[in-house]
Amino acid sequence: MAGKFNSFLKSVAGGFLTPKGYMGDWQHAARTYVDDYFRLAPKAKFLFHCYFSINPGTVRFPQLDQRHRTELGLLVKQVDFPKFNIKTQTLNQYNRKKVIQVTHDYGPMTFRFHDDRANIANMLWQSYYSYYYADSITAKDPSSYARNATSSWSNVSNSYGFDNNSTIPFFDKIILYQMNRKEYVSYTLVNPLISSFSHDQANMSDNGGQGAEVNMTIDFEAVHYDIGAVDSGNVLGFAQDHYDKLPSPLSPLGGGARSLLGQNGVFDGIGAAANEWSKGNYLNAVVAGINTAKNAKSLTKRGIKNEVSNLATNIGLNVAASAITGLKGTTFPGITTTQKTVAQPRSDLNNNTDIGGGG
């Protein structure tokens, strides 16, 4: 038994002398995306929000402006972010090629909406269509499309097409928010207009799994950007309708965990209370403080000892495994009496060649 323990210590010591082991591990790639709270990790596509700023005087359905304005953004299931087409021209400057910029165009953007059962997405199109185009209202008059409208004595008095006395824009602007790590990047579309709109199709063979949708394509005149924190009021229309604002029971504000070092434990609770206080959320700070104090009272010496012991054990095992093999928590088969052992460092320590692995 003592011989195996001494062999283990020699392996650990040898690992510290060659801390990368004999196989490069995954840390170079993993830490690029994991370190600093996933700062360089790619954003998730589903973390977005849309806000439609509609001029109140243009809306046919008052409830669309008064009640469903923020719900409209929640119905967007997919949207394109702005696309830019930069036009360049290659000139000949004394036989030397010179590329210059001429102008740039904005690509159209497509919005896909759920065709909801409250008809909110449908109300959006009906309001837009009836505001700019007279056909939707004129067509309700039976005489507007009478067959004798081409007769010489016929007097066409109704308005048709793009002749509906529309003066101010329907959309003031449309803002797209891309969110991650409690921050946002916003894309504000200036003077957007609908260039195409399509309803879905009826299909008896569909079992309801897909869900009906409507598609809308937008053209716009300009776009500008902004970056900020996802706080109350910074992201227009966000966290207002149908948003669960009650804190999770796992968080310090909702109760926290009865542990010292664990996630949402006493240490985390103290930090959460201090953070809420620094932001001026004094009531939240008091609630987090009370919950943390309750959890602290429930701690026992035995529980704290076990937490510290488990933490030290996990750290020690990871360090030892990394020092020996360069791969945390990884074992390799070896030719021993048990036919399985932890990989041992080679005796030719002067050979510094890595096998695989990243820097």
Distances (CA, A) of 341 to 75, 119, 288: 56, 66, 48
3-state secondary structure of 306: helix
Q: Kindly report, residue by residue over 181-225, the tens digit of the pLDDT.
A: 889 999 999 999 999 999 998 888 877 678 899 999 999 999 999
Predicted structure pTM score: 0.67
The amino acid present at 19, given as its one-letter code, is P
Q: Kindly report, residue by residue over 247-298, the tens digit of the pLDDT.
A: 777 787 788 877 777 777 887 888 888 888 888 888 888 888 888 888 888 7
Q: According to DSSP H, which parts of 230-300 are helical?
A: 266-278, 282-297
3-state secondary structure of 58: helix
Q: Which residues contact 142 (CB under 8 A, 6 or more apart)?
A: none
Q: Can you tell me the distance from the alpha carbon of 163 to that of 234, in angstroms, rounded to the nearest whole number?
A: 38
Q: Which two tokens stand for residue 110?
A: 């497509």
48-137+159-229, CATH topology level: Pnp Oxidase; Chain A (2.30.110)
Looking at the chain, the domain(s) classified CATH 2.30.110 span 48-137+159-229
